[in-house]
Copies of this chain bind each other. A is one copy, B any other.
Amino acid sequence: SKYEYVKSFELSDALLPHTWIVIRIDGKGFTRFSQAHGFTKPNDEQALRLMNEGARAVFEDLPDVCFGYGVSDEYSFVLKKNSKLYQRRASKLVSIIVSLFSATYVMKWGQYFPGKEIQYAPSFDGRAVCYPSDAILRDYLSWRQVDCHINNQYNTCYWNLVQSGSSPTEAQSLIKGTLADFKNELLHSRFGINYNELPPIFRKGSLIFRRKEETVVKVEDGVPVKRLKSQVVVTHEDLIKDRFWKENPSILGTAGSKKSAS
Contacts and interface: CB of A to CB of B under 8 A. Distances in A.
B136 A6 contact: yes
Contacts of A9: 16-18, 129-131, 136, 140
Contacts of A123: 61, 96, 99-100, 103
Contacts of A44: none
A262 B129 CA distance: 16
A129 B18 CA distance: 13
Given A96-B123, A139-B3, A147-B1, A17 B8 contact: yes
A9 B122 CA distance: 28
Contacts of A98: 95, 98-99, 102
Interface stretch (A86-94, A182-190, A192-200, A225-233): A86-94
B10 A259 contact: no
A132 interface: yes
Contacts of A36: none
Contact of A103 (B8, B96, B121): B121
Contacts of A150: 1
Nearest to A144: B3
A2 B104 CA distance: 34
A118 B57 CA distance: 15
Contact of A142 (B3, B95, B133, B259): B3
Contact of A127 (B10, B107, B129, B133): B10
A232 B211 CA distance: 49
A25 B123 CA distance: 15
A129 to B, nearest CB: 5
Given A1-B143, A16-B11, A133-B132, A127 B91 contact: yes
Nearest to A101: B99
Interface of A: 1-14, 16-19, 25, 28, 57, 61, 90-92, 94-96, 98-107, 118, 121-133, 135-136, 139-140, 142-143, 146-147, 150, 259, 261-262
Given A9-B131, A28-B99, 6 more contacts: A6-B139, A12-B14, A91-B126, A94-B126, A95-B127, A135-B261
Top 10 A-B pairs, shortest CB-CB distance: A95-B126, A3-B143, A132-B132, A12-B12, A103-B121, A100-B123, A99-B123, A106-B106, A99-B102, A102-B103
